[in-house]
């Protein structure tokens, strides 16, 4: 039989494909299963629109079959199948996608979720195979055909036997080389793992015979139990993604279990956010706010990101562009049908789409956190203990650009409430005529409470925020004010309290004692910038105060930073 030649460019394209498009060889299985799922989708779609009888949704399945001796892996489906012409057009012409055409012709119906679009995925089979055989029978056709190729040198098509409609793809798996292991693609557990990773949410069952072992009868007393192996036909994928279910169908326990399994946490999440959007970009998102920070959260090792699915198929495990840094603690996934993927389906073509989703998720996460703050204060405070630092960094690093977004989520310790307070609550309690939001920095709230500078303010009934994290004051400086009230350190020269009469008197006294102060200043040398009489001391004889915009604490932090 005459071999038909690929066109010269196609040959190069195939080489390129096989060797450079994909980062991981294992994705060949994802591609072939996606094709099988597409083929079933198409037939199912026809069965609905053309009222085909004898087709039952429950009979549709994808099967994997391994023959270790022959070194073959077979992927079968009972979908629409291909005619001789289809085989020529879709598998003989690289970058020809029957699925893309199908989508175009049937302009995207409801219950169809076709994955293919580039017409290259199929050839990824050559990354792991010496030879690929496709035996296919189109639905309604009485003949089946076999397409066979061992790569760049071309393909053959001939008539074949196949009892019913659908397609079998038979891969002759390569021999191991020094640096590549191919045997693994003949191991049931490895295949199961790959299916779980990429194709868990394919809507049809993916079935495979797995070898299991069980105890052979009851062991006699004092004897070791005997084991026997048996074959079980198992469905490898869970099929319906939790996030595509209606919220009312999913229990809290389901969400929690899903989170713990998928993101390897031992504790239930503090909050589950399940949302779907239609419109400019349609997606389902299932997000979790962990109850505690992972051990490496505040280190460089921590990698933020959400899983990204396109129509239920995993595209990226940690898509960083979906999460702003200040919410980097959020775990979860996004599934969308209208992502424009690049050809390897490992990335997106435009990050515009991601940006859009990111900004929507950002709003959503914020509103969920706010509602936690309002409705479950205790939980929110626990959350803030874990991740508050990240929110404050968020305010600081964006040079205040995130002020609007984050300011209502911040908590600080309050001198008068003796617990954490929001800025809004603080402002609500401000005294009449109070100009500023006061804060004091110290290592602990106790120490802040004992500072000479806080004494007078407290005495006069002012509330003070006690800042204990290094980042706190930097964040407040970036924000400048809240609700039009400026932040002011208790060690600042101007606390906006001085009444005129007292000030005059202090000024006079300062002048009278000028000589004494000069003497003290000389004695202290360059340890101080100035010595003055203060009006804000009560029981303490002396206090340090800072002149410029920086508080003493801030100066300390800056001095301790490596240059």
Q: Does 116 bind ligand ADP (CB under 6 A)?
A: yes
CA triplet 547, 550, 556: central angle to 5 degrees?
Answer: 110
- Three-class secondary structure of residue 338 per DSSP: coil
**Selected range binding ligand ADP among 119-127, 215-223, 266-274, 395-403, rule: CB under 6 A:** 119-127
For residue 94, the minimal CB distance to Mg ion (Å) is 12
Q: Does 327 bind ligand ADP (CB under 6 A)?
A: no
The span from the CA of 48 to the CA of 50, in Å, is 6
Among 13, 29, 33, 35, binds ligand ADP (CB under 6 A): 35
Tokens of 339: 């992502």
Smaller CB distance to ligand ADP: residue 91 or 410?
91
Q: Does 17 bind ligand ADP (CB under 6 A)?
A: no
Q: Which of 65, 96, 76, 46 is nearest to 137 (CA)?
A: 76
The span from the CA of 383 to the CA of 508, in Å, is 52
Transcribe 486-505 into DSSP letters. EEEETTBS--S---HHHHHH
Strands 436-441 and 485-489: parallel
Tokens of 395: 């305010």
The burial class, CB within 10 Å (0-12 / 13-18 / 19+), for 461 is: exposed
166 is in an annotated binding site: no
Q: Which of 325, 332, 337, 338 is nearest to 298 (CA)?
A: 325
**Selected range binding Mg ion among 32-40, 74-82, 354-362, 505-513, rule: CB under 5 A:** 32-40
Nearest 5°: phi and psi at 176?
Answer: -60, 145
Among 78, 83, 90, 390, binds ligand ADP (CB under 6 A): 90
337 is in an annotated binding site: no
Smaller CB distance to ligand ADP: residue 82 or 361?
82
Q: Which of 225, 187, 258, 204 is nearest to 37 (CA)?
A: 204
Q: Which of residues 105-144 bind Mg ion (CB under 5 A)?
A: 116, 121
**Selected range binding ligand ADP among 113-121, 172-180, 375-383, 435-443, rule: CB under 6 A:** 113-121
Among 6, 28, 44, 118, binds ligand ADP (CB under 6 A): 118
Q: Does 84 bind ligand ADP (CB under 6 A)?
A: no
For residue 359, the minimal CB distance to ligand ADP (Å) is 30
CA dihedral 71→75→76→80, nearest 10 degrees, is -140
Q: Does 77 bind ligand ADP (CB under 6 A)?
A: yes
The span from the CA of 357 to the CA of 335, in Å, is 11
Q: Does 98 bind Mg ion (CB under 5 A)?
A: no
Q: Does 332 bind Mg ion (CB under 5 A)?
A: no
Q: Which DSSP symbol is given to 91? A: I
Q: Does 97 bind ligand ADP (CB under 6 A)?
A: yes
The span from the CA of 200 to the CA of 307, in Å, is 13
**Selected range binding ligand ADP among 76-84, 319-327, 484-492, 522-530, rule: CB under 6 A:** 76-84
345 is in an annotated binding site: yes
Residues 6+ apart with CB under 8 A from 542: 452
Among 47, 117, 237, 421, binds ligand ADP (CB under 6 A): 117
Tokens of 216: 């052979």
Judge contact between 422 and 410, C-beta under 8 A: yes
Smaller CB distance to ligand ADP: residue 120 or 423?
120
Size of the site for Mg ion (CB under 5 A): 3
Q: Does 128 bind ligand ADP (CB under 6 A)?
A: no
Phi-psi category of 279—alpha, beta or left, where left has phi over 0 and alpha has psi -120 to 50?
left
Q: Does 120 bind ligand ADP (CB under 6 A)?
A: yes
The span from the CA of 552 to the CA of 563, in Å, is 19
For residue 124, the minimal CB distance to Mg ion (Å) is 9
90 is in an annotated binding site: yes
Stated as kind and residue range, the H or E segment containing 396 is: helix 377-397
Smaller CB distance to Mg ion: residue 121 or 269?
121
Q: Does 92 bind ligand ADP (CB under 6 A)?
A: no
Q: Does 545 bind ligand ADP (CB under 6 A)?
A: no
For residue 11, the minimal CB distance to ligand ADP (Å) is 16
Phi-psi category of 236—alpha, beta or left, where left has phi over 0 and alpha has psi -120 to 50?
alpha
Smaller CB distance to ligand ADP: residue 100 or 517?
100
Annotated binding site for ATP: 31, 35, 77, 82, 90, 97-98, 117-122, 167, 345
Annotated binding site: 31, 35, 77, 82, 90, 97-98, 117-122, 167, 345
The residues binding ligand ADP (CB under 6 A) are 31, 35-36, 39, 77, 79-82, 90-91, 97-100, 116-122, 167
């Amino acid at each position: 039989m005459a071999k038909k030649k690929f066109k010269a460019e196609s040959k190069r394209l195939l080489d390129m494909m096989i060797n450079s498009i994909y980062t991981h060889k294992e994705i060949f299985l994802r591609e072939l299963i996606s094709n099988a799922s597409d083929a079933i989708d198409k037939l199912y779609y026809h069965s609905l629109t053309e009222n085909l009888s004898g087709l039952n949704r429950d009979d549709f399945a994808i099967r994997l079959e391994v023959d270790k001796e022959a070194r073959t892996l077979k992927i079968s489906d009972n979908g629409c199948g291909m005619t001789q012409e289809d085989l020529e057009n879709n598998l003989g012409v690289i970058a020809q996608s029957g699925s893309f055409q199908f989508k175009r012709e049937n302009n995207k119906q409801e219950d169809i979720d076709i994955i293919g679009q580039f017409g290259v995925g199929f050839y990824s089979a050559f990354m792991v195979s010496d030879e690929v055989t496709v035996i296919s029978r189109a639905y309604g056709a009485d003949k089946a055909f076999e397409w066979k190729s061992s790569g760049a040198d071309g393909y053959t098509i001939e008539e074949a036997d196949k009892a019913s409609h659908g397609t079998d793809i038979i891969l002759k798996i390569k021999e191991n080389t020094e640096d590549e292991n191919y045997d693994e693609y003949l191991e049931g557990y490895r295949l199961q793992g790959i299916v779980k990773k990429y194709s868990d949410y394919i809507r049809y069952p993916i079935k495979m015979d797995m070898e299991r072992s069980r105890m052979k009868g009851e062991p006699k007393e004092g004897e070791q139990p005997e084991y026997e192996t048996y074959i079980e036909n198992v469905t490898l994928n869970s099929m319906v993604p939790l996030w595509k279910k209606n919220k009312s169908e999913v229990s809290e326990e389901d969400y929690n279990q899903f989170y713990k399994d998928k993101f390897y946490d031992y504790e239930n999440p503090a909050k589950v956010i399940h949302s779907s959007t239609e419109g400019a970009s349609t997606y389902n998102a299932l997000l979790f706010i962990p109850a505690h920070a992972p051990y490496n959260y505040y280190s460089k090792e921590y990698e933020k990101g959400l899983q990204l699915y396109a129509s239920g198929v995993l595209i990226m495990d940690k898509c960083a562009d979906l999460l702003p840094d200040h919410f980097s603690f959020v775990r979860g996934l996004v599934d969308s049908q209208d992502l424009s993927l690049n050809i390897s389906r490992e990335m997106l073509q435009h990050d515009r789409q991601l940006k859009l989703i990111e900004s929507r998720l950002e709003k959503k996460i914020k509103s969920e956190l706010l509602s936690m703050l309002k409705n479950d204060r205790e939980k929110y405070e626990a959350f803030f203990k874990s991740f508050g630092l990240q929110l404050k960094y968020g305010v600081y690093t964006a040079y205040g650009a995130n002020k609007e977004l984050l300011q209502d989520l911040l908590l600080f310790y309050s001198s008068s409430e003796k617990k954490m307070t929001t800025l809004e609550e603080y402002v609500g309690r401000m005294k009449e005529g109070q100009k500023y939001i006061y804060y004091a920095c110290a290592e602990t709230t106790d120490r802040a409470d004992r500072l000479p500078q806080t004494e007078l303010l407290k005495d006069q009934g002012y509330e003070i925020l006690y800042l204990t994290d290094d980042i706190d004051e930097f964040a407040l400086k970036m924000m400048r004010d809240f609700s039009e009230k400026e932040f002011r350190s208790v060690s600042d020269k101007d606390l906006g309290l001085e009444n005129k009469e007292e000030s005059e008197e202090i000024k006079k006294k300062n002048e009278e004692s000028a000589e004494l102060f000069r003497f003290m200043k000389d004695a202290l040398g360059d340890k101080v910038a100035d010595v003055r009489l203060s009006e804000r001391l009560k029981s303490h004889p002396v206090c340090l105060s800072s002149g410029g915009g920086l508080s003493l604490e801030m100066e300390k932090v800056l001095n301790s930073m490596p240059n």
